């Protein structure tokens, strides 16, 4: 993810999501409204997101990119994950 980049809040109707952080620091946002929580993870950390859980990510750095390995579990491809963005 580019410096200062972000991924808007969304959820996956059909898949779990797993990320392994390789480089940089990522702010993870889970939930919405009063149920919203945020935390920061760095290299060597895993993030697990169950199906239907609203989440988004932000690169904490304005000058360096971040890198991670990402996968959907339980579906054969990105389209099958059923990604829905929260307005």
Q: What is the pLDDT of residue 49?
A: 96
Instruction: Please give the radius of gyration of the chain, using alpha carbons only, rounded to the nearest integer.
Output: 13
User: Is 68 part of a structural domain of the chain?
Assistant: yes
Give per-residue pLDDT as tens, 32-73: 888 899 999 999 999 999 999 999 999 999 999 999 999 999
Number of structural domains in the chain = 1
Supply the range of the domain harboring residue 45. 6-75
Q: What is the pLDDT of residue 19?
A: 96
Helix (H, G, I), strand (E, B) or coil at 53: coil
**Confidence category of residue 22, pLDDT binned at 50, 70, 90:** very high
Residues 11, 16: Cα–Cα separation, whole Å = 9
User: Is 83 part of a structural domain of the chain?
Assistant: no
Residues 31, 41: Cα–Cα separation, whole Å = 17
User: Is 1 part of a structural domain of the chain?
Assistant: no
User: Is 87 part of a structural domain of the chain?
Assistant: no
Output the domain CATH number for residue 31. 2.60.120.10
């Amino acid at each position: 993810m580019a410096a200062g980049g972000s991924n808007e809040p969304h959820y996956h109707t059909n898949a779990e999501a797993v990320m392994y952080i390789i480089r940089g620091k990522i702010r993870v946002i889970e939930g919405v409204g009063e149920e919203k929580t945020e935390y920061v993870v760095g290299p060597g950390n895993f993030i697990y997101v169950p199906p239907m859980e609203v989440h988004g990510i932000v690169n904490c750095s304005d000058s360096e990119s971040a890198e991670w390995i990402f996968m959907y579990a339980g579906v054969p491809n990105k389209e099958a994950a059923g990604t829905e963005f929260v307005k």
